[in-house]
Amino acid sequence: MTDEPFSLEVTIALPVGDVWSALRDPESIRRWHGWHFDGLDKEIEVIYHQNVVESAAEHRLEVQGGDLFELTDLGGRTSLRMTRAPRGGDPEWDAYYDDITEGWITFVHQLAFALERHPGADRRTVFLSGAAATPVLEAAGLAAVAGLSPASPYELEGPTGETLRGEVRFRTANQVGLTVESWGDGLLVATRNPPSPAGPGGAAMMVLTTYGLDDAAFADLESRWNAWWGRNFPEPSANGQDDPAGTERVPNG
């Protein structure tokens, strides 16, 4: 744990105006922020439009709580830098600091993926969360990807009997993002939150993002993955860990 604010920088292969629009337009935000649940629209309003400080000219957005987005024009590409507000001296809120950081890591990479690979397309998602009884990649049979660098191809038997094939999209200390061809060039993000004051046992999470699946195919995927998850991970504790991102919810990854 450190007192220095966390920052994350990604380069997105789109003009700065397109990335700025994706941070300001609610319909665009729905295509990358978090995952689908009944309160998603309210969450987007709370985080990105209530009590924010923005400068369209500078492409700078400070959201509720002081977390900061800064966009830099790289001549047809955009550098997005996201910097967390420092810990604020509120022990109850600061207990979730590292979990919130992991949530932002997931969301920033989902933003870059959606804009670069699926501009303007709607998605459907499956969200899985629980206590970290077993490392999530190991439980899913995906441990072999842990040592691969971004852009490396992979092909593995998934935990629900399907072949997962694509490339490593990103890796961080606690997360890995994999593209999945059979999900319409989708994205699987697997996270293991280390122990923290808010979650002494740590937490495990997956976000499955799909594109273009029909209702039957998506329902089958959702059923299979929920059943596998239920067999391998206990239900999340009632401390907000199943509800990550924002000021009303606790962002964790």
DSSP percent split of the chain into helix, strand, coil, nearest 5 = 30, 25, 40
Q: Which residue has the higher pLDDT, 82 or 94?
A: 82
Question: Which pLDDT tens digit goes with each residue over 18-35?
Answer: 999 999 999 999 999 999
**The domain 7-232 belongs to what CATH superfamily?**
START domain (3.30.530.20)
User: What ranges do the domains of the chain cover?
Assistant: 7-232
pLDDT in tens, 37-47: 999 999 999 99
Does residue 132 have a pLDDT over 50? Answer: yes
Backbone angles phi, psi at 78, to 5 degrees: -135, 135
pLDDT: which is higher, 197 or 250: 197
pLDDT at 3: 65
Cα distances (Å, whole numbers) of residue 98 to 70, 168, 204, 238 = 21, 24, 14, 18
What is the spatial distance between Cα 212 and Cα 106, in angstroms, rounded to a whole number? 22
